[in-house]
């Protein structure tokens, strides 16, 4: 089945008791036991452990990523935290130098004091990755394309390297979504999502997820235990919203991607733009890898304006259609100066801007960018 059909199939399970085509929101925190047998009447007992809305979301996510088991969390960071908690003090993690800023912060500030060791490497440099694998390496973290400069990581080769060393690979698939990239098909073991972004898709719900290729792997079982005992879970309403988001994920992502391609080409040809980072452009150094492991380059891009931070911020200030806000994956186009957000440790050049393309018309966005750039 194609993704779009699968997405509809996986998100529509009519309610057997009422026939409702769209499932109701089960706010109940508790579920009844039978008076005679004292067995639970249904499959659920208590909402921290499981809930019909969360179960529906988790199963749909697992299906769409091609995994065995899905787990939903209250945020992307809660998903990351749960995965790191499955490891033991003394274990070693390989973390990209370039990735979503708060992922390594969690490792550095919370899990390093707790006993995890880690190495930050440039993931597109396979020799550097190989050299950083130790005997106690349990997990290699991959984010491709990476935030904020859209560098790609070869999923197949990293997975091969990890497996030879007895380690697992987790891919943060937030930017690509399973519409454009399915890391488990490229031998990765775990997919992580901030469902806050494209999966929710409307900038109104916070969530995260893990999908395991092998649902019986020790780390999958521990992650489920931590989810149920620790309780960093999304509310039933959030799960319902995320399931709704999944139904339109394919059309949204492809429409946003088509606009991003047009905007990237426009920016690359603009005299006031120094450089564009977008895997849909022939100028992207890993264009071939993008074609190999992605169904499309996505709707995120970055570019450097001619000048410095001051010029980049001036362009931001002149935009009329782009909202100046963090995050990504919603219906509204966003412009962000990552160096301001990330501070001195940023990998983003001072004159770079990151763009999340929404569902506006490409021509209007290009006209807005043009008038803002001409203010330089
Ligand atoms: C937003 C984001 C996260 C963190 O997710 P939250 O839902 O904000 O906790 C992780 N990875 C990537 C790539 C993200 O964009």
Confidence category of residue 345, pLDDT binned at 50, 70, 90: confident
Residue 315: pLDDT over 90: yes
Confidence category of residue 4, pLDDT binned at 50, 70, 90: very high
Rounded to 5°, the CA angle 247-248-253 comes to: 135
Per-residue pLDDT reduced to its tens digit, 150-162: 999 999 999 999 9
Adjacent-strand bridge partners of 339:
none
- Rounded Cα–Cα distance for residues 347 and 350 (Å): 9
| Residue-level pLDDT at 329 | 98
Q: Ligand 1: distance of its center to the CA of 354 in Å?
A: 15
Nearest to 123 by CA among 132, 111, 115: 132
Residue 344: pLDDT over 90: no
| Residue-level pLDDT at 13 | 87
| Residue-level pLDDT at 293 | 98
Per-residue pLDDT reduced to its tens digit, 40-91: 999 999 999 999 999 999 999 999 999 999 999 999 999 999 999 999 999 9
* Backbone Cα Rg of the chain: 21
Closest residue by CA, ligand 1 atom 4: 76
Q: Would you call 48 a catalytic residue per the annotation?
A: yes
Q: Would you call 197 a catalytic residue per the annotation?
A: yes
Tell me, using a 6 A CB cutoff, whether residue 77 lines ligand 1: yes
| Residue-level pLDDT at 34 | 97
Contact 323, 333 (CB under 8 A): yes
Nearest to 184 by CA among 81, 72, 61: 61
Tell me, using a 6 A CB cutoff, whether residue 194 lines ligand 1: yes
Nearest to 236 by CA among 74, 79, 76, 13: 74
Angle between helices 3-11 and 249-268 (to 10 degrees): 140
**Spatial CB neighbours of 248, under 8 Å, sequence gap ≥ 6:** 201
- Residue 283: is it exposed, middle or buried by C-beta count within 10 angstroms (0-12/13-18/19+)? exposed
**Spatial CB neighbours of 312, under 8 Å, sequence gap ≥ 6:** 304, 305, 337, 350, 351, 352, 353
Pocket test for ligand 1, best of 191, 196, 245, 299 (most atoms within 8 A of CB): 196
The reported pTM is: 0.97
- Rounded Cα–Cα distance for residues 62 and 79 (Å): 14
Closest residue by CA, ligand 1 atom 7: 76
Tell me, using a 6 A CB cutoff, whether residue 82 lines ligand 1: no
Closest residue by CA, ligand 1 atom 8: 76
| Residue-level pLDDT at 100 | 95
Tell me, using a 6 A CB cutoff, whether residue 196 lines ligand 1: yes
| Residue-level pLDDT at 328 | 97
Segment among 142-146, 162-166, 250-254, 342-346 with least mean pLDDT: 342-346
Per-residue pLDDT reduced to its tens digit, 87-137: 999 999 999 999 999 999 999 999 999 999 999 999 999 999 999 999 999
Residue with the larger pLDDT of the pair 301 and 13: 301
Q: Ligand 1: distance of its center to the CA of 231 in Å?
A: 19
| Residue-level pLDDT at 323 | 97
Nearest to 297 by CA among 125, 152, 122: 152
Per-residue pLDDT reduced to its tens digit, 321-339: 999 999 999 999 999 999 9
Per-residue pLDDT reduced to its tens digit, 175-210: 999 999 999 999 999 999 999 999 999 999 999 999
Pocket test for ligand 1, best of 96, 197, 242 (most atoms within 8 A of CB): 197
- Residue 29: is it exposed, middle or buried by C-beta count within 10 angstroms (0-12/13-18/19+)? exposed
DSSP 137-166: EEEEEEESSPTTT-----HHHHHHHHHHTT
Half-sphere exposure (Cβ direction) of 366: Cα atoms closer than 13 Å: 15
Q: Which atom of ligand 1 is nearest to the CA of 79?
A: 9
| Backbone φ, ψ for residue 188 (5° rounding) | -70, 160
| Residue-level pLDDT at 119 | 98
Nearest to 329 by CA among 237, 263, 260, 230: 260
Per-residue pLDDT reduced to its tens digit, 286-295: 999 999 999 9
Catalytic residue among 4, 13, 48, 222: 48
- Give percent above pLDDT 90 in the chain: 96
How many residues make up the chain in this entry? 376
Tell me, using a 6 A CB cutoff, whether residue 86 lines ligand 1: no
């Amino acid at each position: 089945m194609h993704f779009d059909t699968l997405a509809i199939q996986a998100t529509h399970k009519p309610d057997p008791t009422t026939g409702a085509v769209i499932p109701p929101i089960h706010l109940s925190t508790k579920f009844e036991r039978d008076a005679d047998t004292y067995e639970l009447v249904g499959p659920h007992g208590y909402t921290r452990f499981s809930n019909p809305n969360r179960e529906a979301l988790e199963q749909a996510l697992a299906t769409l990523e091609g995994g065995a088991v899905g787990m939903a969390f209250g945020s992307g960071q809660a998903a990351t935290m749960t995965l790191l908690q499955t490891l033991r003090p003394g274990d070693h993690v390989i973390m990209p130098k370039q990735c979503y800023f708060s992922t390594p912060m969690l490792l550095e500030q919370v899990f390093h004091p707790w006993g995890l060791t880690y190495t930050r490497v440039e993931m597109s440099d396979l020799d550097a990755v190989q050299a950083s694998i130790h005997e106690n390496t349990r997990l290699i973290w991959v984010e491709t394309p990476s935030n904020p400069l859209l560098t790609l990581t070869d999923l197949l080769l990293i997975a091969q390297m990890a497996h030879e060393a007895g380690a697992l690979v987790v891919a943060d698939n937030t930017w690509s979504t399973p519409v454009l990239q399915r890391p488990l098909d490229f031998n990765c073991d775990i997919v992580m999502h901030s469902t806050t972004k494209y999966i929710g898709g409307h900038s109104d719900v916070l969530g995260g997820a893990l999908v395991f290729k092998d649902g019986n792997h020790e780390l999958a079982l521990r992650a489920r235990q931590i989810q149920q005992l620790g309780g960093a879970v999304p509310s039933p309403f959030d799960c319902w919203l995320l399931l709704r988001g999944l139904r339109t994920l394919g059309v949204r992502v492809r429409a946003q991607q088509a606009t991003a391609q047009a905007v990237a080409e426009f920016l690359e040809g603009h005299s006031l733009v120094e450089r564009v980072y977008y895997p849909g452009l022939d100028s992207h150094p890993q264009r071939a890898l993008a074609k190999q492991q992605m169904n499309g380059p996505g709707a995120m891009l970055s570019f450097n304006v001619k000048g410095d931070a001051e010029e980049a911020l001036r362009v931001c200030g002149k935009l009329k259609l782009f909202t100046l806000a963090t995050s990504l994956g919603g219906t509204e186009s966003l412009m962000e100066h990552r160096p301001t957000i990330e501070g001195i440790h940023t990998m983003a050049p001072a004159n770079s801007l990151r763009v999340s393309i929404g569902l506006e018309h490409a021509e209007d966005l290009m006209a807005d960018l043009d008038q803002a750039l001409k203010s330089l």
